[in-house]
Chain A
Amino acid sequence: MRITQKHLFRQQADSLTASYGRLFDVQQDLTTGRRLNKPSDDPASVRPALDVRAGRRRLEQVRKNAELATAELGTAEGILRNANDIIARAREIAVAGASGTLNQGDRDAMAIEVDGLLRQMLSLGNTRGLTGHLFAGGLTHTLPFEEIATQDGPVVVYRGDSSTSVVELGDSLELELNVPGSRIFGVGVRGTTRYGGATGAAAGSGNDSARGTDRLTVAHVRTVLGDGVLGGDGDSASGLRPGASSAASDTLLGAAGAWSLTLVDSSGTGAAGTVSLGGGAPVNWTAADGDLAVTAPDGTVVHLDLSGVTAGFNGTVGATGEGTLSLDGGLTTTAIDFTDADQLVVDTETGGSIFVDARGITRAGVDVLRFGGSYDLFAALIELRDSLKNVDGDETETQLVRVRETLREFDDGQNRLLANLSSLGARLRLAETTRSRADELDLLLASNQSRLEDVDFAEASIELSQAQLVLQAGVAISSRLAQLPSLTQLL
């Protein structure tokens, strides 16, 4: 092959250029530490490298979510444990308070302690976490449990909602981060409605939706005597009329035939005589009595106007009393239907409703209704406090029964609390497991990323040495070429 000088030198120049180029590439890799600086460095590794990076970023978010979940759930768990302790103390008080050996003063002192427990429970329920109120469901900026005044006294209402906030823990695994307050402090299985009082009202056969303790006000509106034809709702036969304060002060209630008055005109002129109600002790009257109170043996009272008694009347006069039922302390009233075994009454303050058997109502008054199984923890504490303080003025026997019966509500409440606690515990463990798994997985991905993107320093160092050698050889050859003999020198 014919070689010219130009060829030799050009070839050498190209060779050196290539060697420098190779050296530069290796230097680049070593100083950046990465072999995949741009996609063209290794196109086949680009998509796996992007996938691995994306995977690591997602893991970072999962880890963040898991840490947040651990914090929030941990706080919630602590609060529920505290709530459990409060309930345990309340139970102790209920057991002690139901004992017949204490006096009302002792029970008053206990009521004060229960009120303190109620305050503590409220503050626990309203605890704030990292992002707002823990137990308000989705409405984290709203106070979940609020004590409001009603006609029946203060009740605690739930202002949050039942939605749950969810974090993703990767791979379609979602974790509920919170527990809505309604689920923890909420109600269980409803039992029977107990009526306490002397009005004669009883539970109907329908399902009541009111909760906790409520009070049914049975009010008297007017009394009608006999045929009611005589002016002022009086009886034409006997001339007996309801007294001046009858509408306001009577407690007599009932349809025709429920009550009867026995009227005797001993004077024969309608001037004086005796009158008795429902077989009670006769009461003397004169024509001057415009507003005589007559009481039945059970305490029912009727006021009579005896100014116009028919002369010589000696007999019975039927008395009927009309009245109203109200669950919300008189805000709304329903007229009593003495034939209705299931009269519907609605508490407009709480929205609860009851079906009342009105057939046996004979007297006005306030009945205390307790809806077994429907007490949330707050209502149970309120009921314990109120029954210890005896706000309804019950007989001691009744009072003690009420105190004792709160125990069952506390038991139910505590069971629910414990169930929620164990669910929280399970979730907490899941969050912790996820976090440690995420850490492990991240290590694995990091090593993958390194394998794809990073320079193998050992390999690169060897390459560097090789490139240097090649360059050195090239430069040595170049200098030899410069020394080549040529005929031009000799001629």
Chain B
Amino acid sequence: MLGLAIGLRSLRAAQVGMDLVGQNVANASTPGYSRRLTVLSASSPTLAHGRSLGTGVEVRELRRIHDSLLDVRLREQREVLGHLETQGALLGQLEGFFQEPSESGLAARLDDLWNALSDVARSADDSSSRDGLVQSALTLTAGFRQVAAQVGSVGEEARRGVDSAVEVVNGITAEIAALNDRIIKARTFGTTPSDLLDARDELVKALADWADPQVLDRPDGTIDVLLDGLLLVSGNRANGLATRHPGDGTVEVRIFPGQQDITVRGGRLAGYLALAHGAVPQRQADLDEVARALIYEVNKRHTTAVPASGPHTQLTAAVTVDAGALTSPLSALDLPFPIGTGRLLVNVVEAASGSVAQHFVDIDPDAMTLGDLAATLDALPNLSASLDSVGRLRVSAAAGYGFDFSRRLDVDPDDAGAFGSDHATLTSAAGPFALAAGDTLDLAVDGGAPITITFLAGDFADITAATAAEVAAVIEAQAPGISTDVVDGRLVLRSASVGAASSLTVTAASSPALFAAGTADFGGDQAVAVRLEGTPTAGAAGHYTVRALGEGVIGLTPGLEVGLFDATGTQIATFDAGSGYVPGDPIELLPGVALTLTPGSVSAAAGDVFEFDLVAEPDEADVLVALQIGAFFTGRGAADLELDGELAFDPRKVAGSATGEAGDASAFLSMITLRDLPLDVLSGRTIAQGYGELVAGVGLDVRTNATAATAQRQLLQSLESRREEIAGVNTDEEMLKLLEYQHLYQAAGRYLQSVSEMTETLFSIL
């Protein structure tokens, strides 16, 4: 009978309705729960007695009320927030390590260094200010190392974060795959497994917190989860994520089969990766840039300066070189700074007399090896150089000597005695000389018999362009009583004895190329003592000669002059050295360079001359900075920045004199200018500004991130509200529905009662 069936159906429908209300109310606070709606519809009518009769109500559907598009949007925004929050946490740590602005950060320690330099510049001889400088340098370098290590630790944490995020993701994808499996099975029974679907949605949402998954709904009810276009979950199978640490601070994320690297753009994983690949290496590089600028600029000034205690007796490079690289040219070595091409000036100073021998060493980084450099230095008189067991260059001076690489003035420029000597001296014009094979030169010493010197082609590389050095060698060999020298490319001949009785005469010459026949000079009772003093200005660099322009006695002869000539041989100045000059008074040859002469005879005819060099840049090739010899700072960047060990051990080796003069502190003063000096390597910023930009940049990153995260949270909140609006459970609503279904049930029950009574009546009739 239809009646019963209709009644039963009503009861069932009401029951289902009430169950669903119960379900909704029970899950009102369950996260991610979408409310269910019982959708009732009239059941299919049946045909009876030629009429279509209704058969009651049936539950068409237990509908899940939710907006899947909204879910996708929620998921996407959650990815962004996960990314931002993870970044924010790590960036905040990074910022905290800099401790700025404060009196304990690197900015304050840098200023302490400049201030300590100011103290030591004032009194280079004062041990307490030297100790203060060493102390502030130690504090500064420790600070750099500490910050570098801390920045590194944030990178380390980011990488660990990637590893742990990957583990979490793998866990979630495994669960999603399992749920996919159950959903398929449930679907074969024809039901919509709402709970499973909800659970799977929650998992996908959780996944979005960690990465940026792309979800594709499959017709069979499963979902495919893709990451960077590659399958993470398909059906009941989950592919795992794995990480690889190449050791250079980066992390690679890849999907298991296929070992292909993927890029993650959202979620916490993206946040960790962004730190590990972006912010941390960038800030490390920024810090290194500042540290390297400091190392280079300070060392450039320190390596070419002289300590207050005098020239060095021994220096060891701080940079080690592998044994295998010793045969490679300098340009191929892995040095903190590159070596260029140019000359290195090495001064070897005799401690007792203060006389200086200046040597120029040519540096060609493509042709020279480290061993070549050591050998060249070792060959210099009174200097020895070698490489130790770890490839460090060590230079030492012989006993009684010292060395340095400063632009010191040669205080005793007339080593050859070619200017006003008490020996008889003859100086030729500048070489090369056009001689011919078989040319002769007859020289008479001290009135003795003339000695004939013969020049053969075999003595010269090219006899038509004979150098003064080659001619000197020939004369030395054939006339032992005459000593020879080369000054300014000229040949200088000197008699062995001194005094008015000594003489040197060219009795005959087959060619006037060297000396004209009849050229003669006599010795004197007094030698002119030539001294240079002062601190040359940087602009006065060059090679100079000073020549007598007449005959006479210094301080006596009216009109006696000496001339200053530049490297091209052009006369640039003339000075009175005769009756208008008081011997011992300074003559200012060039700004900052004074010449003093003592009385004695000079002769232009005899070619009296002396030469000297003023060097602007003693280390043109940056060799000293590259190998860190006599350096102030050692290291390649912020992580290994140290004060040179020799200075920490003995503060007296701190070098502040750029000119070698005892009281000169110009190298220290030059270091202090770094406070305000814009540097090309820092794009025109000073060291302090470079650091300031780094700190401000980190702060800005944190701030920007925090602002974006706050906005993101607000966006998420409004999206959540919208979701709640659609899919959330309003208990009052459910209560009303409960009443509705209760009525339905009661009505159905009453109906059934009636039908039952009718049936009973029928049966009682039968």
Contacts and interface: CB of A to CB of B under 8 A. Distances in A.
Does A pair with B?
Answer: yes
Interface of A: 1-7, 10-11, 14, 36, 38-44, 46-47, 49-51, 53-54, 57-58, 60-61, 65, 68, 131-132, 137-141, 161, 163-168, 174, 177, 190, 204-209, 334, 342, 344, 346, 351-353, 355, 453, 486-488, 491
A53 B112 CA distance: 12
A68 B122 contact: yes
Contact of B556 (A6, A204, A488, A491): A204
B553 interface: yes
A4 B599 contact: no
A351 B584 contact: yes
Interface string B737-762: 01100000000000000000000000
A487 B583 contact: no
B287 to A, nearest CB: 14
B322 interface: no
A65 B669 CA distance: 14
Nearest to B112: A57
15 contacts: A6-B28, A39-B98, A39-B698, A40-B700, A40-B702, A43-B699, A44-B696, A50-B101, A50-B688, A53-B108, A58-B115, A132-B125, A167-B121, A346-B599, A353-B584
Interface of B: 28-29, 92, 95-96, 98, 100-101, 103, 107-108, 111-112, 114-115, 118, 121-126, 525-526, 553, 555-557, 579-585, 598-600, 661-665, 669, 672, 675, 688-689, 691-693, 695-696, 698-703, 706, 717, 720-721, 724-726, 728-732, 735-736, 738-739
Nearest to A9: B29
A173 to B, nearest CB: 13
Contacts of A167: 118, 121-122
Contact of A40 (B526, B706, B728): B706
A166 B669 contact: yes
Contact of B555 (A47, A165, A209): A209
A190 B599 CA distance: 17
A7 to B, nearest CB: 4
A168 B695 CA distance: 29
A296 B599 CA distance: 36
Nearest to A211: B584
A50 B118 contact: no
A161 B553 contact: no
A38 B721 CA distance: 35
A7 B721 contact: yes
B129 to A, nearest CB: 8
A477 B375 CA distance: 88
Nearest to A11: B721
A40 B731 contact: no
B582 A138 contact: no
A406 to B, nearest CB: 22
Q: Which of B123, B582, B669, B739 has the most chain A CB atoms inside 10 A of its CB?
A: B123
Nearest to B103: A53
B661 A163 contact: yes
Contact of A161 (B662, B675, B735): B662
Given A5-B28, A164-B663, A355-B555, A46 B599 contact: no
A11 B722 CA distance: 12
A53 B663 contact: no
A354 to B, nearest CB: 9
A57 B115 contact: yes
B732 A487 contact: yes
Contacts of A139: 125, 662-663
A205 B581 CA distance: 12
A190 B583 CA distance: 12
Q: Which of A57, A68, A205, A209 has the most chain B CB atoms inside 10 A of its CB?
A: A209
B582 to A, nearest CB: 4
A428 B736 CA distance: 97
A57 B100 CA distance: 15
A4 B28 contact: yes
A190 B661 contact: no
B101 A177 contact: no
Contacts of B108: 53, 57
A54 B107 contact: yes
